[in-house]
Structure formats: C-alpha cells, structure tokens
Amino acid sequence: MVTKELIKDVTVNILRRAEATLPSDVKDVLVRAYECETSEIAKVQLKAMLENVKLADEMQRPLCQDTGIPLFYVTLGSGNANPHVIESGIREGVKKATKTIPLRPNVVNAITREGGAGKEANIGDRMPYINYKIADINGLEILAFPKGGGSENVSAFTMLSPKPEKEAVKEINNFVLDAVLRAAGKPCPPTIIGVGIGGSADMAMSLAKAALLRLVGVRHKDARISRIEEELLEAVNNTGIGPMGLGGKTTALDVHIETADTHITSLPVAINFQCWAARKASAKIYLSGEVEYL
Ligand code: SF4
C-alpha cells in the first residue's frame, strides 16, 4: 500500500542519491569533455569537477554547496494513491532530507526573504514544487530534480513574432546564443541548455525545464528539431566560454529542445540552464508498496 510514510522515505532516498551521485550520462560526457579539451585551464576545471563527482559519490555527500530548490516530477498511473498522501509525503521527505543529508535551507519568501535557516527548511509556499503527469503505468514514479540557483538565475524568455520557418529558426538560435553569451560563467558551465518552443508563455518555460530531464546525447525524435539541437550545441561551444567561464571548447554538454503547438500569432521561446551538477534521481512505487529505484 502507498502510504505517506513510504512516500516520505522514498523522497529522502531519491534526494540523497540525486545530491550525491551524478547520473552516468552526465558523468560520461564530462569525462569525454576532459579528454577532448586542449586548454590547460579547461582541463583543470573539468578534472576538479570529476574529482568532486567521485568524492561526493564515495562519501554520499552533496555535489555542491547549493543543494538546490526542491522540484519534483510525479507520474501517476491508474488506481493511484490519494494525491494528498503524495504531496504530504514529499513535503515530509524534503523536511527530513534537509536535516539528514543535509541540504542547505534554500527556500525563502520571495519578497521578505524570510525562511531559509530560520524556518522549516526547504518547505514553504508552493515549495516543494511538484509537476504531475498521467501515464499508463502501474503505481507512480517520483523524480527528484533539485535545481541550483546559479543556473536558474540566467533563464530567459521571449515572445518572438511568427515568421517563415527558416527565419524563425535563425531568430531562435540568435536568442539562445545571446542568452548563453550574457550568462557566460554564471550558470557554472558546462551546462545542459533546455529550450522550450511554442505553447503559451508558461508552457514554453515548463518545456525548457522538462527538456533538461532528457538523457544527455539523446536527440529530439523530429529530425528537423534534432538538427537545430546539434547546430546550437556547436555554436554554443564555439563561443569559447568554456568550463566555469574560464575558456575552452566545452561550454555546453548538450542542447535539448522541446516543442508544443502554439497560437497562430505567437512564438514563445524559453531557455532554462542546467549547471554541470545535473542532479536527478527517481523511483517507481507499485500499488503493493514495492519500490524500485531507477
Ligand atoms: S549553479 Fe550548480 S554548480 Fe553552480 S553553485 Fe549552483 S548548484 Fe552548484
């Protein structure tokens, strides 16, 4: 049976794994970047990241002092647990994880800046933030996606005017490249760049964030979009910003685009950056209460 206590325990476990163990797709591409870099300073930065990744995993300690804000993606199957049980279980899990992992108390009131260390750590108004989707699965899946402030703070959004495909792609590419140049070293590169195109303004930003969840190296299934991803990745890496903004060939590990159909008068484009500490971990909880860590 899926109880609040079970959701709480799973939340603590996936947060711990996300914070301490970098997913292998990201680790592998960091290793490849280290092998390919020719700049001495870029090699030093990438080596330090890889040593950091190894130590965090061995010691089960957070990869970075900024342990992020608590974002979750929950996939609900049929005959599911009560949503209230899921929400309160995740909330309790974040509270416990903050004390036991521990996590930095990052969540504060947006206006007064109260919260943080003084209050129930990492719990607040609409925090943790939980995205839901429905799928044909047995039970539910929870994905923890703690997101660092440095990369989040350089997010970008624009409403372009609709135009023929070739011109639209050129404007989108320019917007992404401008955002990368303005962000420079702030998002702790090498980054994964999520681009959301279409839908409404809020949908575009959600798509940009969801794009970060795709495995590094996996291209969009539409060949036209996949080509734009490849062109953008090459252009971003030609900027020379490099690891931590100190110069080099590796400014981004990948560019992922997600799209949605949009209004006839609109062309929303959103960008969400993910720093090199691309933390995420998930688990599947069957209705029987059995848990599979993915
Ligand atoms: S952007 Fe990422 S690597 Fe940089 S400080 Fe924040 S969590 Fe750490």
Given a cut of 80, whether residue 126 has pLDDT beyond it is yes
Q: Which pLDDT does position 218 carry in this prediction?
A: 97
For residue 149, the ligand 1 atom closest to its alpha carbon is 6
158 vs 113, which has greater pLDDT?
158
This prediction has a pTM of 0.95
Q: Where are the alpha helices (DSSP H) in the chain?
A: 4-20, 24-36, 40-59, 83-100, 149-152, 165-183, 201-211, 223-237
Give me ligand 1 centre to Cα 163, in Å. Answer: 36
CA of 272 from ligand 1 middle (Å) equals: 14
Cα(189) to ligand 1 centroid in Å equals 9
User: Which residue out of 104, 151, 253 has the highest number of ligand 1 atoms within 8 Å of its CB and is therefore the one to mutate?
Assistant: 151
3-state helix, strand, coil in the chain (%, to 5): 40, 25, 35
Of 175, 170, 197, 173, nearest to 259 (Cα)? 197
Q: What is the separation, in whole angstroms, between the first and last Cα of the chain?
A: 20
278 lines ligand 1 (CB under 6 A): no
Q: What is the mean pLDDT of the chain?
A: 95
| Atom 7 (ligand 1) nearest CA | 148
3-state secondary structure of 210: helix
CA pair distance 11, 18, nearest whole angstrom: 10
- Give the atom of ligand 1 at the shortest distance from the alpha carbon of 275: 2
The answer, yes or no, to whether residue 47 has pLDDT greater than 80, is: yes
Residue from 247, 245, 259 nearest 194 by CA: 259
Give me the CATH topology for the region 150-274: 60s Ribosomal Protein L30; Chain: A; (3.30.1330)
Q: How confident is the model at residue 93 (pLDDT cuts 50, 70, 90)?
A: very high
Query: What is the reported pLDDT for 138?
Result: 86
In the numeric block, which tokens belong to residue 60? 């089960």
d(CA 100, CA 12): 9
Tens of pLDDT along 207-262?
Answer: 999 999 999 999 999 999 999 999 999 999 999 999 999 999 999 999 999 999 99
**What local confidence, expressed as pLDDT, does residue 127 receive?**
94
Residue 148 CA to ligand 1 centre (angstroms): 5
d(CA 61, CA 291) in angstroms, rounded, equals 23
Residues 46, 52: Cα–Cα separation, whole Å: 10
Residue 1: per-residue pLDDT: 86
Predicted local confidence at residue 118, as pLDDT: 56
| Architecture (CATH level 2) of domain 4-18+63-148+279-293 | 2-Layer Sandwich (3.30)
Per-residue pLDDT band for 119 (boundaries 50, 70, 90) equals: low
Residue 282 has pLDDT above 90, yes or no: yes
Specify the ligand 1 atom closest to the Cα of 188: 4
Domain ranges of the chain: 4-18+63-148+279-293, 150-274
For position 83, what pLDDT does the model report? Answer: 83
Residue 291: strand pairing partners: 285
Report whether residue 188 contacts ligand 1, using a CB cutoff of 6 Å.
Answer: yes
